[in-house]
Amino acid sequence: MKTAVGIVARIAAGCLLGTALAGAAVAAPKGTLNYGTQIQLDNWNPLVKSGQTYTNIPYEGLLEVARDGFTLQPKLATEWQLTPTELNLTLREGVVFHDGTPFDAEAVKKNIEWIKGSGTQWAAGLAPISEVVVKDATHLTLKLSRPTPTMADRLATRGMYMVSPKALESGSWDKPVGTGPWTYNADASQRGTKEVFHLNDKYWNLDNVGVDTIVMHVIQDANVALNALRTGVVQAIELPTSVVEAATAAGFKVEKTPTLVQHFLFLDRKTTFADENVRKAVCHAIDLDAVTQAGYDGVAAPVSQRFLEGQYGFNPEVKAYNYDPEAAKKYLAAAGNPQVSLTLPMYPTTATAMTLIAQMLREVGINADTQMMTTGQYFTYYQTDRYPLQINTSATESIGPLDYYQFRFSPTGTGNPFKVTVPELDAIVDRALAEPDAAKQEVIWKEMVKYLYDHALDCNFYLWNTAWGYDPAKIQEPPTTVMRPSALRYDEVRLIQ
């Protein structure tokens, strides 16, 4: 299989790994995974979910990432070839959706067209696709209007799950109709409390599925979560940070996986944060060491930038803004000591951290308070123009520098609700996309990261680890994915019989 240069050069290794996994048969699926999560399910539209906790069970994408969170592997597509003008895909044969509809190139075309017209953050990622050309049942070409070095990576996101064309036509999201290893049992489920899935006996890769049933338990209270492990209600659970130490002391294993790079999102750069000096004041006002220790019980740690060391786009010249309240006050003075007022939205998991951050902002002269809401309410208002500043992240940003820019800073980006333009930044991106040499292109992307730092368009990054507690007498270590919070690699789960 051929691959593009630069950012997607790692793909070949992913294909070899996927082939090896597909050829290694194991015992037939057996047993029930009882898994605890803080996330509630509302409907089955994969485009409007804040994660893939549930959708990763019945749905599959064309490609997927390995456990490292970045290496691409085949899924419903077995081969892919990316050039500056097109992405060619070869699809897996013999796959059917849960409703019996064949999975083929026409189904993929319908999904891509649906996503492009959805108005969601995933639509922007597919905007460079000017045409979908179906060659035959298992081959199609995505024509690109501009070079998009991360187009293959975008196909591995939760926004690219394949849905049955019949389900898309119905417009109903009461149940999921994908190609995944499990089908949804609505009768056995209790919406908002328990969701039940049973084995799809027509699944194309049954030999590599570990369990035949999955029961998802919604548990949002920390002490109830720990008790669910103790009483055997669940074998594994996403643990609130406040009970990680108690879970370990009780004899359970805890696995921690880096899943989010949170940062300060200066959403309102039109008014509240239009002045670079105000942004720099905020960057210097926060003691991130104190926030991550007290706010996240030590499962988070400051990092210098959006991309981690070893990841494409990481710039070693960029250092984190240091905690310096006096420097923050000087920057505010340079801005004319404006009366800056803002409200930080927060939900239970982030309440301590947001409260500390608001206090630190007040100490340098910024009038900051907090607003508590449920997790669902928070994500309803996430990345809208309701709040000038939020502390969070998006999976779309993690794909690479181009996606980071397009999502967060381009005039049409979902993460730019105030539609603020930065012409100098746009020019850097244009140069990067016009550069045919992979090594030189990466230098330009690093220049973009440095520009964001120099002008405080983004700052105060910290890496948040999700903690999973599990009973080692009942389940092997839960398979997780870097930068994929809440969800397991469910097909790789193995119970101890």
Enumerate residues 6+ apart whose C-beta is below 8 A from 23: none
pLDDT tens readout for residues 134-153: 999 999 999 999 889 999 99
Residue count of the chain, please give it: 497
> How high is the pLDDT of residue 124?
86
pLDDT tens readout for residues 180-231: 999 999 999 998 899 999 999 999 999 999 999 999 999 989 999 999 999 9
> How high is the pLDDT of residue 338?
97
Give the pair of three-digit tokens for residue 190. 């209790």
User: Does residue 267 sit in the same domain as residue 161?
Assistant: no
Structural domain for 75, as ranges: 6-216+471-492
User: Does residue 146 sit in the same domain as residue 282?
Assistant: no
User: Does residue 441 sit in the same domain as residue 374?
Assistant: yes
Q: Answer yes or no: is 253 within a domain.
A: no
Q: Is the pLDDT of residue 275 over 50?
A: yes
What value does the mean pLDDT take over residues 149-178? 96
Q: Give the residues across from 134 on adjacent strands.
A: 140
Residue 275 near residue 404 (C-beta atoms within 8 A): no
Q: Answer yes or no: is 230 within a domain.
A: no
Per DSSP, the three-state class of 362 is helix
Unique residue bearing structure tokens 């539609």: 419
Report the percentage of the chain scoring pLDDT > 90: 81
User: Does residue 177 sit in the same domain as residue 326?
Assistant: no
Three-state SS string across 340-357, please? CEEEEEECHHHHHHHHHH
Q: Answer yes or no: is 250 within a domain.
A: no
Q: Answer yes or no: is 249 within a domain.
A: no
Q: Give the residues across from 463 on adjacent strands.
A: 261, 301
Enumerate residues 6+ apart whose C-beta is below 8 A from 209: 29, 181, 199, 203, 491
Confidence of residue 9 (pLDDT cuts 50, 70, 90): very low
User: Does residue 429 sit in the same domain as residue 319?
Assistant: yes
User: Does residue 435 sit in the same domain as residue 483?
Assistant: no
Planar angle of CA 160, 161, 164, nearest 5 degrees:
125
User: Does residue 439 sit in the same domain as residue 477?
Assistant: no
User: Does residue 48 sit in the same domain as residue 117?
Assistant: yes
User: Does residue 280 sit in the same domain as residue 421?
Assistant: yes
Q: Answer yes or no: is 237 within a domain.
A: no
pLDDT tens readout for residues 75-118: 999 999 999 999 999 999 999 999 999 999 999 999 999 999 99
- Pairwise CA distance, residues 226 & 236, whole Å: 10
User: Does residue 414 sit in the same domain as residue 265?
Assistant: yes
CATH number at residue 163: 3.40.190.10
> How high is the pLDDT of residue 21?
40
> How high is the pLDDT of residue 345?
97
User: Does residue 211 sit in the same domain as residue 301?
Assistant: no
Q: Answer yes or no: is 416 within a domain.
A: yes
What is the number of structural domains in the chain? 2
- Pairwise CA distance, residues 333 & 365, whole Å: 10
* Neighbouring C-beta atoms of residue 475, cutoff 10 Å: 22
* Neighbouring C-beta atoms of residue 294, cutoff 10 Å: 14
DSSP labels for 47-112?
GG-SS-TTTTTT--BSEEE-TTSSSEEESSEEEEEE-SSEEEEEEPSS-B-TTSPBP-HHHHHHHH
Residue 391 near residue 264 (C-beta atoms within 8 A): yes
Q: Is the pLDDT of residue 354 over 50?
A: yes
CA distances from 462 to 256, 287, 354, 459 (A): 15, 11, 13, 9
CATH number at residue 288: 3.10.105.10
- Pairwise CA distance, residues 133 & 12, whole Å: 24
> How high is the pLDDT of residue 23?
40
Q: Answer yes or no: is 456 within a domain.
A: yes
Q: Give the residue among 380, 353, 485 at the shortest CA–CA distance from 69.
A: 485
Q: Answer yes or no: is 73 within a domain.
A: yes
User: Does residue 212 sit in the same domain as residue 344?
Assistant: no
Q: Would you give the DSSP letter of residue 306?
A: S
Q: Is the pLDDT of residue 4 over 50?
A: no
Residue 184 near residue 59 (C-beta atoms within 8 A): no
- Pairwise CA distance, residues 427 & 432, whole Å: 9
pLDDT tens readout for residues 387-398: 999 999 988 888
What value does the mean pLDDT take over residues 290-296? 92
Give the pair of three-digit tokens for residue 260. 């989010």
